[in-house]
Structure 1
Amino acid sequence: MSEFSGHPYILVPEFALLSSLPAHQVKRFETALALMHSESGQQLCWEQIAEQSAISPYHFHRQFTQVFHETPGQYLSRVRLQRAVSLLLSSPGQKITEVAFATGYSSSQALAKVIKRELGLTARAVRQLAKTGTPDETAALLSRLSHPAGSDSSEYQMAYDLPCERIWYPARHIRKQHRPDFDWDEIIQNWQPSCRKLCCVTPIADLERPWQEMRYTAGVIQESGISSDITLPEGDYFCALVCLTSDVAYIAAIESLFEQAASYGYKIDEGGCLIEQVIEVEPGELGRVTFMFQCLLK
């Protein structure tokens, strides 16, 4: 068995765009971005965020717009809506009013108005998508909240260059964990080093089904088959090691994995599975999460 030869690919538009700035400005903009993505920042306007980041509002607006291709107000609005939609999709037990307050909206009506204007849906319709929608339908919705970059989003443009490798693995064994509502967001929030052996295995054939019809196995990778529940067959796997911060980038990376396999002339084993494993979680409001994605080749 070999390991992935490169470093994780950073599929984070903000970090890529900030690389063009001097180091002292990068630090201030990173402070501003962390505030924009924080719970407390959801209650602030962009001018307050600029001041708390030691940048004059005038210079912040001008330079932010130049670097990020949207005004700080537009970015902040998009991030808030992105977070609200993520909560609606992943937290069915949370009331829409609670989601609104948690993401900086004054009421559920205010959130509903923004969702209707930007996405053409009601908040309840977004929530229903988590049950009856397919991954493609969810991806189409989330892509409308991605970072703007010409005719396509930055996340999808960056995903075109995602490095992928063909790696041979011996048979691997998984002991199931009882997780009726498996949610990577929850696992990431409660991250411990022991979580590195946790993975989610989904049959390739199920990836076009509605979410509620998908069969998946959440479990811990074991070194032996003793007391294991399922076995991943030995063979060549097409793999990507990617660092990301958003649902949009997560979906873009998985789509790119399959697209690149086809471009290399590889055939995915339709009887196999998509394997997702979190390798590392960085702390902080803009904390990056490194995933390993794998699928068995014929």
Structure 2
Amino acid sequence: MADADVAVARVLKHRLELDRLDYLRELRALATRLTAKEIAAELGGPPSAVEAALDEPVTDPRPGFSGATPWEVAQRFAVGQISREQVVDELARWEYPPTELTDGIDGLLVSPPGSFQEVFRALDRDLIDAEIYGEIVDRTPGGHAVTETNGAVGPDDDLVVLRVLKHRLDLARIDYVRALRALSNGLSAGQIAAELRVPPTTIEEAFAEPVAAPRSGFSGATPWEVAQRFAVGQISREQVVDELARWEYPPMGTPHSHDGLQVSPPGSFLDVIEAADSGLLDDESYAEIVTRRSDA
């Protein structure tokens, strides 16, 4: 298996972790004014899932920085969320707690959370390269001024942001599982776990997830996934309209006579209708998809 495939899986793993952090933080911000039940209703899931997420330990980013820890800052650089200049600046300005020796019996170092050991670990795990690490070390003693930009968003904006983060998290998991499956063509679960430095059980659990490969010529395995990728900015409006207009949909189910419910197979046009209803597609995009399908 090519080293490039392993590198892709590593990046996707970091992106998944970051998307989870972003989602949890936005969820907590929203929970200051909405109940778990109200949030669940907005996201279309059970309240228990929201409550479980709210119980997960997560720390807000340090003011003036893009993460809560040096490791998170390095992760955001590794996945392309911040620039080289920004990661160097932030990790050079970070106020690191001292790394201390133990009682002298074994000479072990004790590194508290947020210590410079996280920067060294980021270098060791290829989140940053040696040149960046050297520049951080050179600039650390001097420090730099902190520049902050604050923006206010309204209540409705918070919900929109949370929905986008939820979709981004779902897609990150899908991409990660697909990358792991691609690696499994040449590596065992144990070997993949060793490369990613995670327990083998997490790889085996990922393999068990029902994740289909994208349809050939499309950016997703389902119309819903295609719409999700548009909603989070991964594909353009032109692409989502083109793909969802070209998609070969199975027939939608007939409404039941007794209750009027309509049960449709996976991948039917109902996915597109629900995507529009959920805000993944704007009215104009949805209308153009319908028009192109009618003209085909």
Q: Same fold (TM over 0.5)?
A: no
Could you say which structure has the greater relative contact order, defined with CA pairs below 8 angstroms and 6 or more residues apart? 1
Pick the structure with greater CA Rg.
Answer: 2
TM-score, length-normalised on structure 2?
A: 0.27
> Greater share of helix residues, 1 or 2?
2
Higher strand share: 1
